[in-house]
Amino acid sequence: MVPIVRDVRTKDERDMFREQINELEAALFHSDSKIFDDVLTARLPKSMTDKMREIIARPEFKDNTQALRKFFQDFKDTLDMFFLLKINIAFKPSEQMIDRLHDWTQQNLGLGVVLDINYDGSILGGARIIFSGKYKEMTLAQMITDALAKEKITVMGMIK
């Protein structure tokens, strides 16, 4: 399972992957066994399809729909246990930036953390970060507000 969940970078990807697992699970019960392979090929990204094929090819899953069903349920449970690292930034991130953030989270926070990235133009620059009940604001808007509050008398003297 680890090789597959390692590739899940964002909350949206996690949710989409969970839906795809549901579709695979439902395909197990079709009378035509080719439907499972069709769903696997058509619905999952190529990198995850290859990894999923390796797992499904294991002897314990061969012709054992109950074992596969339990595997899929365990997989969905694992996805549901992921922690969210919420990040609000002033721009829409590129795929390259999402990859870099994902790499950073895996190196510093470990597996089981997905990014919940939101766009908020009001912060001007920087980021708001929420993780495990902790909140950190490192935004340009907040820095300006803090500087103005700190230097209120000086600024008011300059304006008058």
Distances (CA, A) of 100 to 9, 95, 103, 106, 131: 10, 9, 5, 10, 18
Strands 113-119 vs 126-131: parallel, antiparallel or unpaired: unpaired
HEC string of the chain? CHHHHCCCCEHHHHHHHHHHHHHHHHHCCCCCCHHHHHHHHHHCCHHHHHHHHHHHCCCCCCCCHHHHHHHHHHHHHHHHCCEEEEEEECCCCCHHHHHHHHHHHHHHCCCCEEEEEEECHHHCCEEEEEECCEEEEEEHHHHHHHHHHHCHHHHHHHHC
Q: Give the domain ranges of the chain.
A: 2-80, 84-152
pLDDT in tens, 5-38: 888 899 999 999 899 889 888 887 777 778 878 8
Q: Given this model, what pLDDT does residue 98 score?
A: 94
**What is the average per-residue pLDDT within 107-121?**
91
Q: How far is CA 70 from the centre of its chain?
A: 23
Q: Quick check: pTM over 0.85?
A: no
Q: What pLDDT was estimated at residue 1?
A: 65
Query: Does residue 116 or residue 54 have the better pLDDT?
Result: 116
How far is Cα 10 from Cα 49, in angstroms, rounded to an integer?
Answer: 18
Q: Specify the length of the chain in residues.
A: 160
Instruction: Read off the pLDDT band of 52 (50, 70, 90).
Output: confident
Percent of the chain with pLDDT over 90: 30
Tokens of 159: 């304006």
pLDDT for residue 116: 96
Provide the residue type at 21 as one letter. I
Give 159's pLDDT tier (boundaries 50, 70, 90).
Answer: confident
Given a cut of 70, whether residue 90 has pLDDT beyond it is yes
pLDDT computed for residue 12 by the predictor: 93
Residue 147 or residue 57, greater confidence: 57
